[in-house]
Structure 1
Amino acid sequence: MSIKILGIETSCDETGVAIVDENGKILGDVLYIQDFIHSKFGGVVPEVAARRHIEVLPVALKEVLEKAKCEIREINAVACTIGPGLMGALLTGVSFAKSISISLNLHFIGIDHLEAHINAIFLEKNVEYPFIGLVISGGHTSIFFVEGIGKMELLGKTLDDAAGEAFDKASKALGLGYPGGPVIDRLSRNGDPDRYKFPRAMESSPDLNMSFSGLKTALITLIKKENSIRIEDLCASFQEAVLDTVFNKLKRAVQMKRAKRIVIAAGGESNSRLREKAK
């Protein structure tokens, strides 16, 4: 009889529930997104996200059990994201997961959100350790030196906004809606990344930390100053500044650790320009 582990993720505004076996095979998974709720606010509202998790978690659990063709009593352990993330959102997931583990007398496994992003690569392919891991998303932008499961050294991170958050704020300032990453990526494909000049923060800083908050200020200043702006060029130029900042630090991390492999994880890795620069 195979071991079945129930996994629950509520670190931000997406409710993820899955069941996997001891080999990592996904027996069933369900994902509820909240973009349609938060789009009118131009970003994720933490309390609203937490309340939505409370609403959909019981439904998601029922659906994932049906997909995996198993009963709740067949679950052997419960794993849940314990951080980092939005406090209220995390608490809803942890409370739900612990209520299941306690009521069924199951082992509870706390999962680090960023470590999970990095190790998700092993669902598709085996990557030899050590490697440099980049987590890039709406909530996090961090660079790690990864030597194994549970062996991650933080080399650098954003000191303010995450890269994805910078995209969201830029999109809001331009009236393009939420989430900003996909729409800026799409418009940038027909734009000139050299048309407008944006700062590359902390470019000469000796550490591997990053900063993106100044980019939003530079964008707003440019919008007010320029009489005629081609939106595709502006998006491309802004996107290039964000990615240059990330890749400047990523290259230095590779040199510092003499790494031969890089793993890029989380929502930001779907950006088409990022994928081009990573080749």
Structure 2
Amino acid sequence: MANINYHHLYYFYVVAREGHLTRAAEHLNVSQSALSSQIRQLEERLDLKLFERRGRALHLTEAGRITLDHSEVIFSTGQELLATLQQTGFSRQPLRVGAISTLSRNFQLSFLKPILGRTDVEIILRTGSAAELIGALSAMQLDLVLTNQEPQADAMTPFITHRLDEQPVSLIGLQRLCSEEMSLPDRLASSPLLLPTRSSGLRRGIDALINRLGVTPQIAAEIDDMAMMRLMAREGAGIAAIPPIVVKDELEAGTLLEIEQLPGISETFFAISLERRFPNPLIKTLFS
């Protein structure tokens, strides 16, 4: 079997990073036709298409994304070699994970724990909105998305939904805010509450419970970031309606107290991947 022509691979690497044939040709100081020919020869060698054209832009195929991952390792290792001959370079398998910005950091760490600290793995963690991350997953810029919202089924985009966990939601706060014995309706009506924003599925469930109980809540703050809700609960700004995993360390230390679970309210965690011909092997490790 003939070896890969690394000259062709480098040309592919530049085109993939530029995302545009004209800019890549200018960067490499070659003609567009010569560059196209080099890419075509690499695709013939691999027997796979590496790019697909959408309008005037080039987009990586799944095989192209994998080839880029390996190209980055190959050429970054070469740069390390030039920088110093006293160190032995080694490559890491990248795993690109998206997590919605409101998701519990404790949950993210727990999920990634099987690969944390591995010297052969590089974790690239990106946060954003669900729409942004699902779009990046569809474009194969991410391997996996962690979310608390199951994506809508789409025949054109074969998502794979992994249901990871379901956490109850409790009222949690400082002892001075939780000391009085009272019923749940009375507490919701009289205590300052820290609630998720109305755009979240979790908040819709809480609002439905409040409506069933027939109370008017005392809302001190509406927050779309679990990390900020955790901090505000620690500062005594109010009693937070959150899954206990978000404040696991504070509960274990006794800094915060769990008053009671909200009946019928829970947060479900999902990992969303894409049906791919060449799935990232690290995904299997996380689910094993």
Query: For the superposition of Structure 1 and Structure 2, which TM-score range results when normalised by the shorter chain?
Result: under 0.3
Higher relative contact order (CA 8 A, sep 6+): 2
TM-score by length of 1: 0.22
TM-score by length of 2: 0.21
